[in-house]
Structure 1
Amino acid sequence: MTATQGLDRDGYIAREGSLERVPPAFAPVVAAARERIAAAFGPDRLHGAYLYGSVPRGTAIPGVSDLDVLLALHHEPTAADRAAADALEAALDAEFAEVNGVGVLLFGTGTLLSELERHDLGWFVACLCTPLFGEDLADRLPRYRPTSLLARETNGDVALLLPKWRERLAAAGTDAELRTLARGVSRRLVRTAFTLVMPRWGGWTSDLAASAEVFAGYYPERAAQVRLAAGLARTPAADRTALALLVDDLGPWLAAEYAAVHGVKAPRP
């Protein structure tokens, strides 16, 4: 792996997915998603639809990977919009065994294009989202380099998540709840660990195992914990002890180191 990983020839973060990379096994669910999104929202509500995650990157595994969708609405999302998205998630997840869950994010275009979100949601759309249909907002956003500003605005708020994670861990009473928490916590911590060192490494990757190894080159004393998190993110386990280690030890350390190196993410309303 080289320091130019994930960059175009001008040194900007390259858009990582495309519809051409969607694995054949996932083509039917992507086609169904396109059709049902258009029917559920319509042109008066919907500005554009995007895929993100392993499906457009071409790394999704049938029966294991989820389908991640972002919808850009002309207006800020309403309760009716969220209800429609929830119904869409449930229907696609129930019908297609290829996906292990469907997630639909909703944002207004005003939020996605705002100055406050320029280096968080804006970057996410421009670099990590693949247009499914509609106008591509990336055409109205800047190009991005792997800078400290990008690191701060994408993951500089992990300290705010720690109390919520502790509450969920204490309340988790089933293996299913622990696995769900393990997946979410681990993904976020690995991404935070990677973006902590991203500007020094000088590249971009969404691969969790690769992210852990990049981080390990700069913080070998914490490498085992981040590798543990990467493993739990890929194969969630109902391991309360491992989760406690991540939430009570790795998480606070990452939050403090991140604030020292990059600063804290700008507050959101």
Structure 2
Amino acid sequence: MRSIKNIGHFCKNDCNGFIINDASLDKIDTLFYKLIEMVIDTYRQKLGSNLHSIYIRGSIPRGLGIPGVSDLDTVCVTNKELKDIDLDWADKAERELNNAFNCVNGVEMSFFHLNDICNTKLFSIYPL
């Protein structure tokens, strides 16, 4: 019987209230590398020039991934509005990745347009 591990947490903030990133490529178990490469390749092939960036979040990039238990949470940022991109392929891609890799308990592919990520109100409060 598996036991529940207390690995969740709230993200720490710096003195300005910004989230401190505790994720790192160096912390990722090599067991997950091939899957991450396949996810990145899938995003690149399907989105082409509409792809802006990809982020891996959750327990795996924090070095807390549990083989066969943790899921791979990914966030894709696009250059083009989501309504103008065909994303019908995403559910099938998730299923294929889940079937091909048993090192995770699922792959999550989520999509956001760059303008949705870059909140202009925030930048007017905290100029760069």
TM-score range, shorter chain: 0.7 to 0.9
Alignment correspondent of 2:83: 78
Q: Identify the match of residue 68 of structure 1 among 65, 70, 73.
A: 73
Alignment correspondent of 2:43: 37
TM-score, normalised with respect to structure 2:
0.76
Q: Over residues 37-72 of structure 1, what are the superposed CA-to-partner deviations in whole Å (9 max), with x where a residue is unaligned?
A: 111111x21111111111111111010111111111
Gaps in structure 1 of 5+ consecutive residues: 119-141, 144-269
1:81 to 1:49, Cα distance in 2 relative to 1, 3 A: farther
Name the structure where strand makes up a greater proportion of residues: 2
1:71 to 1:12, Cα distance in 2 relative to 1, 3 A: closer
Q: Identify the match of residue 112 of structure 1 among 103, 110, 117.
A: 117
Structure 2 residue identity aligned to 1:66: D
Deviation of 1:13 after TM superposition, in Å, equals 2.9
CA distance in 1, matches of 2:21, 2:38: 24
1:115 to 1:11, Cα distance in 2 relative to 1, 3 A: closer
The runs of 4+ residues in structure 1 deviating greater than 2 Å are 5-13, 78-82
Q: Identify the match of residue 25 of structure 1 among 7, 21, 31.
A: 31
Deviation of 1:80 after TM superposition, in Å, equals 5.1
The percent of aligned pairs where both chains have the same amino acid is 31
Name the structure where helix makes up a greater proportion of residues: 1
CA distance in 2, matches of 1:110, 1:10: 23
- 1:37·1:88 contact (CA, 8 Å) conserved in 2? no
CA distance in 2, matches of 1:31, 1:63: 18
Note the 1:116-265 alignment, pairs <5 A.
Answer: 118=122
Q: Over residues 172-225 of structure 1, what are the superposed CA-to-partner deviations in whole Å (9 max), with x where a residue is unaligned?
A: xxxxxxxxxxxxxxxxxxxxxxxxxxxxxxxxxxxxxxxxxxxxxxxxxxxxxx
Deviation of 1:6 after TM superposition, in Å, equals 3.0
May I ask how many residue pairs the two structures share in their alignment?
A: 115
